[in-house]
Amino acid sequence: MGKIIIFISVLFMLFSFSITAEETSQPAADEKKDEIQSLNEERREILKYGIDSELISLLAKLQDEENKELSADVGAIYASTLNPDIMKAAVEYFISIEYPDAVPSAEKILGNWEDQNYDTLSSALRYISEYPGKDSEQLISKLLDHENKSLASAAIAAIGKCGSEETAQLLLDYLDDDEFPDELKPSLIRALGDMESESALDTLIEILEDVDEEKSWRWTACEALGKIRHEDALPAINKALIDKDTYLRAYAIKALAGFDSAGVEETIIQALRDSFWRVRVAAAEALGKKKSIDSVGILIYKAKKDPENNVKLAAIAAIGEIGGREGLDFLQDIYSKNTTAQSIRTKAAEIIIEKDLQASLEIIKKVVAEEWEKDSSVILSYTCKFLSKAEHPGLKEIFARMLDHNDVAIKIYGVRGVQLNRISDQKERLESLTKEGVNNAVRKAALSALENL
């Protein structure tokens, strides 16, 4: 009988312990859930109640993260705030995440332009020009000749993205008007190019060919003709290629990038030999834009041997744009060598991670291993940054290792990589990074990642 009583007592104690454990573990789980949910709630509270500097700082962070979850909340702020700096930060955020839903608020601002701050109007113009609606042209046109030259310039740039041929004629009239401010006329010329206005063709050719014209007018006219891409402009652009004005030669090369006529590509390749480094940069950029396979050899040479670092970087970027095994193998090679200049190596890393990750994976792992134990490695930091924006199953091991690095930035890049690639088996490690005593930026990044896993 005594044994039965003892047995029952033990069972009761075990049952009581089980209930107690469940009761104590449940609040802990609920607390963790509340903590994870609090990250976005904290940001929403900042958006609703924070001071101006907090809002601007948060908007910059959301833009850097490409965070779309709070876009509607930011839209509400944009519609209600009177602070032009917040409005500008909000517009930059909207454009970076391709969010057009707040355009009606920008249109409302332009509709009441007489009562608005100039900076507020400028940011609204920038936003509407990215996502023009049926009333945008009419709203913007009212500000084209505004007495504030910065605002007028912003309006001219905006109309270039959404204006019709009717508005193009208005810009041509302003261009011919002696009373219209001369300092704004390059903006008019640029806008005509952005509109690809063929009605402006003769005027722009005339400006380009006039050696006595203001240099900035000739540069901008050449650029505009390249955007219009009419064959009638080619003789004037080719003539600019041998002009004594070195900057005009660079603009002429940029203009040629838009043409597919016979001989144009070879002309651009030859411009890589120009004595002025800006012309060589323009040529490399143009060849990348045209995806010129025939230029890969000379671009590799320029990336290795050109005396100007800017030309080397432009050549590397062009090789990345062109693609192809020869060029991408070269980029892998210069990235893998620690004797390569830091800026060149970093640019190569960005390109191969974006465009050739599968083929470059082993080389990337090798570089990460070599740089890992260094006290401060710019190459490692940038490699991790670029990787944090990449999706690939082969990165799982690297992201897991990044979570344990001493550098705060690298740790955060690891968190972002885990989140983007939805590596659920790192959940426990992420939870450990949310505890008290962990760097606050790391902690918040981990909370955000857990919320989205």
Q: What confidence tens digit (pLDDT) does each residue in 37-49 have?
A: 567 788 899 999 9
Q: In terms of Cα–Cα distance, which of 288, 299, 293, 283 is closest to 334?
A: 299
401 in a domain, yes or no? yes
Instruction: Determine, yes or no, domain membership for 402.
Output: yes
In a domain, 11, yes or no: no
55-92 pLDDT, tens digit each: 999 999 999 888 888 999 999 999 999 999 999 999 99
Domain membership flag for residue 226: no
**Can you tell me the distance from the alpha carbon of 318 to that of 309, in angstroms, rounded to the nearest whole number?**
14
Contact status, residue 417 vs residue 403, Cβ threshold 8 Å? no
Residue 249, in any domain of the structure: no
Distances (CA, A) of 351 to 81, 138, 228, 252, 325: 40, 42, 30, 27, 13
In a domain, 170, yes or no: no
Q: Does residue 123 fall inside a structural domain?
A: no
Per-position pLDDT tens, the chain of length 453:
454 444 444 444 444 444 344 444 445 445 545 554 567 788 899 999 999 999 999 999 999 888 888 999 999 999 999 999 999 999 999 999 999 999 999 999 999 898 888 899 999 999 999 998 888 889 999 999 999 999 999 999 999 998 888 899 999 999 999 999 999 999 999 999 999 999 999 999 999 999 999 999 999 999 999 999 999 999 999 999 999 999 999 999 999 999 998 899 999 999 999 999 999 999 999 999 999 999 999 999 999 999 999 999 999 999 999 999 999 999 999 999 999 999 999 999 999 999 999 999 999 999 999 999 898 899 999 999 999 999 999 999 999 999 999 999 999 999 999 999 999 999 999 999 999 899 999 998 998 888 877
Sign, Cα dihedral of 184, 186, 192, 194: negative
User: pTM (2 decimals)?
Assistant: 0.79
Q: Is residue 1 part of a domain?
A: no
Q: How far is CA 415 from the centre of its chain?
A: 21
DSSP character for 404? Answer: T
Structural domain total, the chain = 1
Residue range(s) defining the domain that contains residue 440: 388-453
